[in-house]
Amino acid sequence: MLVAEILKIKGGAVFSIPPEATVAAACGELSGRRVGALVVCDDDRVVGVFSERDVARAVARDGQGALERSVADYMTPKVVFAEPHESVDQLMERMSDRRIRHLPVLKDGRLAGVVSIGDLVKSRIEESSREAESLRTYIAAG
Q: What is the pTM of this model?
A: 0.86
* Dist. CA 57–CA 115, nearest whole Å: 22
Note the pLDDT tens digit of each residue in 16-51: 999 999 999 999 999 999 999 999 999 889 999 999
pLDDT tens-digit map of 51-97: 999 999 999 999 999 999 999 999 999 999 999 999 999 999 999 99
Question: Where do the domains of the chain lie?
Answer: 3-141
Helices (H) and strands (E) in the chain, counts: 5, 5
Q: What class is the 3-141 domain?
A: alpha beta
